[in-house]
Copies of this chain bind each other. A is one copy, B any other.
Amino acid sequence: MDTDPTTTNPEFYRTLWENDDVRVLEYRDVPGQETTPHEHPNTVMITLTDFDRRLSSGGGSRDVTLPAGAAVWLPAQSHSGRNTGSTPTHTILVELKHSTAADRPASLGPEI
């Protein structure tokens, strides 16, 4: 099964550009919208809006609130996400193609 978010949820994720080092995605949704399960490599995520989000994976979930203008580390993981707030979500995801941090324990959501 292809777990690339641009395949599982092209209504939310689009590729802005990529090169040998990174693939850069844009994510947009509105309150109440929800992704299906998908997979991220080690990623730096930059937020362009404030948002509230519930991330789920297997039996677990975690609620995340982020302000616009944050830059967070999203370690490689599989999850789905739902916009649980009252504002649109708009983020940029910088996926790393040459990460050396691949063996760190996966956590649900960003490291904040």
| A contact residues vs B (CB 8 Å cutoff) | 16-17, 19-22, 24, 26, 42, 44, 46, 48, 68-69, 71, 73, 90, 92, 94, 96, 98-101
Contacts and interface: CB of A to CB of B under 8 A. Distances in A.
Contact of A42 (B21, B92, B99): B21
A101 B16 contact: no
User: Which secondary structure characterizes the binding site on chain A?
Assistant: strand
Contact of A22 (B26, B44, B90): B44
One complex includes copies of this chain to the number of 2
A14 B12 CA distance: 31
A100 B44 contact: no
Contact of A101 (B17, B19, B69, B101): B19
Given A24-B44, A99-B21, A16 B94 contact: no
